[in-house]
Amino acid sequence: MRVVMSAIRVHPFHRYGGAEIYVYNLAKYLSKHGVDVKIIASVPEKGSGSRSLIYDGLHYEFLPPSIPIYSKASLIFYHVFNYNLAKKLRGENFDILHSFGMTAYRYLKGKVKGKVVVEPFGLYGTEEREIGWLKRKARELLIENPLGYCVKRADAIAVEGEIQAKDIFVKYGVPEDKFIYIPDGVEIEVIDEYLSKNKLTREELELSDADIVLVNVNRLVRNKGVIYLIDALKILNDELNVKLILVGSGPEEGNIKRRISELGLRDKVVHFKDVPDEIKFQLMALADISVTPTLFEGLPIVILEAMACGKPVVASNVTEVPQVVKHGVNGFLVPPRDPRAITNAVLEIYDKDLIEVMGRESRRIAENYDWEKIARATIGAYERL
């Protein structure tokens, strides 16, 4: 079976977030199980022109243009990439095109060969806040209409869970039998190997005196809701000595640092920016509780990673998060934008001495999301097509 995956960005060349890692891991584990996979993505921002290479056993091909991450013109570049991708795909031989986002839009407008799987990956998601008429119309023209065309023309729609499937069904009215489920996953064996080499200590990070250590790993963008975690940290420190390991960078970093200073929390936060996976998992291992106050997205990979590290999780009750965070079992679900709810959840885990018990449940659940299992299920879904 030959599969082409199309995405505007992919790990490790674009270094953006969970979606890019998802594409890479799915491709890697499909390849391990004998599937011939090729990834076609946009030219990385530091590169130029189209090029082809092999990385980690996977064939990558990059097409122009480079798509800037934080730019109002990103969607225009996205559609130019879709046009170039459609031309490229006309000359490719494949059984399955697995298209992420709306990258299949231009291709589906012409003669289609093979089967097409569209994975919207959050483009249909709820807006973080009210937006103006002009921005809404632009979104409709450049995202919602093309994405609707893709999901209606595709042979199958890949989603991370039933909540996403329901959202797409309601919005676009596609038949329920078109959905296939490919949740986010974790590399259990790889994480265990990193943790076996753990060299970091709480003493080194000046965390040894803390009653509770929290960890948050995210891009520092608005929809990750990190600002609400900082507010919760202030409330928590009115009762206990609570510290936070914050891992990530992004355009909200300045606002978050200002809030930390305003609330007098500089000695309560240890901030790391871009760290290798080995260090990231060691930082997770040092913490007591993982907190992910996201406002909207699919199933954040960082939640599964924290669970694989045996951590209780406090997370927003949005989209596919309840698929893995079982309220009262391996953590607590809280409303988005609610620092007091985050505070209460952390205190309940601490007061009832649930850190180890919930951590074991997290690990047990995470093992069901090993990429080995997900890859085998995905191959079965492809074969049924």
Q: Using one digit for the tens of pLDDT, what is the confidence trace for 330-358?
A: 999 999 999 999 999 999 999 999 999 99
pLDDT value, residue 111: 92
As beta bridge partners, residue 42 has 63
The percentage of residues in the chain with a pLDDT greater than 70, rounded to a whole number, is 96
Strands (E), 177-316: 179-181, 212-217, 242-247, 269-272, 289-292, 313-316
Round to whole Å and give the CA distance between 232 and 244: 11
Round to whole Å and give the CA distance between 8 and 6: 7
The interaxial angle of helices 301-308 and 18-32, nearest 10 deg, is 70
**pLDDT tens for each residue of 288-334:** 999 999 998 778 899 999 999 999 999 999 989 999 999 999 999 99
On the question of pLDDT at 81 being above 60, the answer is: yes
| Predicted confidence band of residue 127 (pLDDT cuts 50, 70, 90) | very low
Closest CA to 187 of 121, 100, 281: 281
Instruction: Give, as one character, the DSSP assignment of residue 44.
Output: P
On the question of pLDDT at 145 being above 60, the answer is: yes
The Cβ of residue 265 has, within 10 Å, a number of other Cβ atoms equal to 18
The Cβ of residue 141 has, within 10 Å, a number of other Cβ atoms equal to 11
Phi-psi region of 99 (alpha: psi -120 to 50; beta: other; left: phi over 0): beta
pLDDT value, residue 299: 87
Round to whole Å and give the CA distance between 295 and 225: 6
Round to whole Å and give the CA distance between 243 and 229: 11
C-alpha distances in Å from residue 177, one per residue of 44, 153, 381, 385: 36, 14, 12, 11
On the question of pLDDT at 242 being above 90, the answer is: yes
Q: What average pLDDT is seen over the chain? A: 93
pLDDT value, residue 137: 82
Q: Which domains does the chain have, with CATH numbers?
A: 2-184+370-384 (3.40.50.2000), 188-369 (3.40.50.2000)
Q: 146-150, 166-170, 267-271, 321-325: lowest mean pLDDT where? A: 166-170
**pLDDT tens for each residue of 359-377:** 999 999 999 999 999 999 9
On the question of pLDDT at 128 being above 50, the answer is: no
Round to whole Å and give the CA distance between 315 and 377: 27
| Predicted confidence band of residue 278 (pLDDT cuts 50, 70, 90) | very high
Q: Which two tokens stand for residue 287?
A: 């913490």
Round to whole Å and give the CA distance between 40 and 54: 12
Q: To the nearest 5 percent, what fractions of the chain are helix, strand and coil?
A: 45, 20, 35
pLDDT value, residue 163: 86
Round to whole Å and give the CA distance between 19 and 226: 19
Per-residue pLDDT, averaged over 150-158, amounts to 96
Round to whole Å and give the CA distance between 70 and 135: 16
The interaxial angle of helices 339-351 and 226-236, nearest 10 deg, is 50
Q: Which two tokens stand for residue 51?
A: 């090029």
**pLDDT tens for each residue of 11-56:** 999 876 788 999 999 999 999 999 999 999 999 976 655 689 999 9
The Cβ of residue 122 has, within 10 Å, a number of other Cβ atoms equal to 18
As beta bridge partners, residue 349 has none
Strands (E), 124-204: 156-159, 179-181
Q: Which residues contact 381 (CB under 8 A, 6 or more apart)?
A: 156, 158, 180, 181, 182
pLDDT value, residue 126: 45
Q: Which two tokens stand for residue 304?
A: 């599964």
On the question of pLDDT at 131 being above 90, the answer is: no
